[in-house]
Amino acid sequence: MIALTAAEIAAATGGVLHADPSLLVSGPVVVDSRDVLPGGLFVALPGENVDGHDFAATAVDAGAALVLANRELRDGDRALPTVVVDDVEVALGELARTVLVRLREAALEPGGSDLRVIGVTGSVGKTTTKDLLAQLCGSVGPTIAPVRSFNNEIGLPLTVLRADEQTRFLVLEMGASGLGHLTYLTRIAPPDVAVVLVVGQAHIGEFGGIEAVAKAKAEIVEGLVPDGVAVLNADDLRVRAMADLAPGEVVLFGESSDAAVHARDVRLDRAGRARFTLVERTRDGEEAAEVELRLVGEHHVHNGLAAAAAARAVGLSVDEVAAGLTAADALSPHRMHVVDRPDGVTVVDDSYNANPDSMRAALKALAVLAGRDRRSVAVLGEMLELGPGSRDAHDQIGRLVVRLNISLTVVVGEGARAIRDGANHEGSWGDEVVLAEDLEAAGRFLEHELREGDVVLVKSSYGAGLWKLGDRLVGEAVS
């Protein structure tokens, strides 16, 4: 975070200061006392299971200069340096909003960084697109982007507060599980460029319907700065319609004939990685460059095009974008992470999250990876937050498994049972589909069943817990 006095932090958060007003806070802002560095700010978030206020003294002992809290704090006879606010989470957002305003003002000064903020949302592909953009932008200037999926009311402000006067690009992932969420996030960090990937069925149970999902995702476009650029998926009619809400330029990406940024001659190699010609149509014709993605799955072409369009909007050349996409790696764990084990089994760990769209994409990637000479094994768990259509959505995935000729499907948990039912209804027979009651049962089954040459996909919503099985299959420690 940029250096601020305790008085400035109190003013930004609307809090009451219980510390020396001139106290300088120059270290990082953290919510975990184990992450404290000297001179930083510890944000004492209350929680259902753990209350950050209980760790404030530990944070100060570790070097935190100041604590953001909802009450005065003492450690025995010692008063802890504190800014007291009514709502710690809201205050964290206000602090981030104030810091970003200052950074934007500084960026306009002679010699400033010309800071650009890019926001990414969508039902599928947010984190991968964010990771691609972070690497593209990072190749040409100092860039801040979220670790993992820091995309909510806590993660986004923490990401903003990592920026400083040298930051040229601030890439933000913006998640929503209800109306008004993106309005809140864009108030903290209004984007210069807003990317909308897909309006899909993720969290549809919480939204109450697909049109509500579209309305919620559109909030990122409405939250653009006055001359901001909307980067929209031309192939999704609900996303395309958001162009009417854009305050400035609209850039379309995708397969549609009028998409300014699109891919030509897409082909997959034996490992399921896409190669294509990146094309941008301009008023003077078109520019093109070759891309060879390192990411597994044809669906990543879509994410690559979104990242390319956003990167072009902040000034990267087509050649820089193509080179950056070719060099980009998968940064976040449990997202199409491919590991070749010593015993000849290939594990594709895509267990961080799942919805019908991402589940279909992962299964198609599995079929390509396995080809005709390797056995394909799908280990599938529940897709959460799908609402009344959940059973039908799982049933459809089961039917797709059969159509893709997946050799063996292990359905994990009662919540995913409809996957097995769908496969059976589509024509699966014998032992092609197995129902395991829990993670342990699935793990024991796979230990005895997997053999050299198998390609194994692990996929579910995070809350279903199959990421633990993914860790186990690739031999990593399960936390």
Q: Which H/E stretch holds residue 41? A: strand 41-43
Q: What is the pLDDT of residue 478?
A: 44
Window from 198-207, 210-219, 377-386, 398-407 with minimum mean pLDDT: 198-207
Band of residue 427 on the pLDDT scale cut at 50, 70, 90: confident
**β-sheet bridge partners, residue 233:** 253
**280 touches 255 (CB < 8 A):** no
Band of residue 479 on the pLDDT scale cut at 50, 70, 90: very low
* Res. 165: pLDDT tops 90: yes
Q: Is 127 annotated as a binding residue?
A: yes
Q: Is 143 annotated as a binding residue?
A: no
Q: What is the pLDDT of residue 210?
A: 85
Q: Tokens 């008004």 label which residue? A: 180
Neighbours of 267 (CB within 10 A): 9
Measured CA distances, 477 to 191, 293, 339, 460, 467 (Å): 38, 29, 15, 19, 11
pLDDT tens for 369-388 read 999 899 999 999 999 988 88
**β-sheet bridge partners, residue 349:** 337, 458
Q: How far apart are CA 71 and CA 401, in angstroms?
A: 54
Q: Is 217 annotated as a binding residue?
A: no
* The token pair that represents 98 in the structure block: 């104030």
* Res. 11: pLDDT tops 60: yes
Q: What is the pLDDT of residue 472?
A: 93
Average pLDDT over residues 146-171: 93
Helical H segments across 25-173, by residue range: 56-61, 88-107, 126-138, 155-160
Measured CA distances, 274 to 95, 99, 132, 263, 304 (Å): 42, 40, 15, 11, 10
Higher pLDDT, 94 or 150: 94
* The token pair that represents 123 in the structure block: 């039902």
Q: What is the pLDDT of residue 203?
A: 56
pLDDT tens for 33-85 read 999 999 999 999 998 889 999 999 999 999 999 999 999 999 999 999 999 99
Q: Average per-residue pLDDT in the chain?
A: 93
DSSP structure class, residue 297: S
Q: Which H/E stretch holds residue 12? A: helix 6-13
HEC-encoded secondary structure of 353-382: CCCHHHHHHHHHHHHHHHCCCCCEEEEECC
pLDDT tens for 281-318 read 988 889 999 999 999 988 999 999 999 999 999 999 99
Q: What is the pLDDT of residue 207?
A: 62
**253 touches 232 (CB < 8 A):** yes
Q: What is the pLDDT of residue 314?
A: 97
Q: What is the pLDDT of residue 205?
A: 59
* The token pair that represents 194 in the structure block: 């807003």
**179 touches 212 (CB < 8 A):** yes
> Within the chain, what is the greatest distance between any pair of CA atoms?
73
pLDDT tens for 213-253 read 899 999 999 999 999 999 999 999 999 999 999 999 999 99
Q: Tokens 């006392």 label which residue? A: 33
HEC-encoded secondary structure of 151-220: CCCCHHHHHHCCCCCCCCEEEEECCCCCCCHHHHHHHHCCCCEEEECCCCCCCHHHHCCHHHHHHHHHHH
Q: How far is CA 415 from the centre of its chain?
A: 24
Q: Is 126 annotated as a binding residue?
A: yes
Higher pLDDT, 208 or 200: 200
pLDDT tens for 117-155 read 999 999 889 999 999 999 999 999 999 999 877 899 999
Q: How far apart are CA 58 and CA 71, in angstroms?
A: 17
Per cent of the chain over pLDDT 90 is 82
Q: Is 122 annotated as a binding residue?
A: yes
Q: How far apart are the first and last CA of the chain?
A: 30
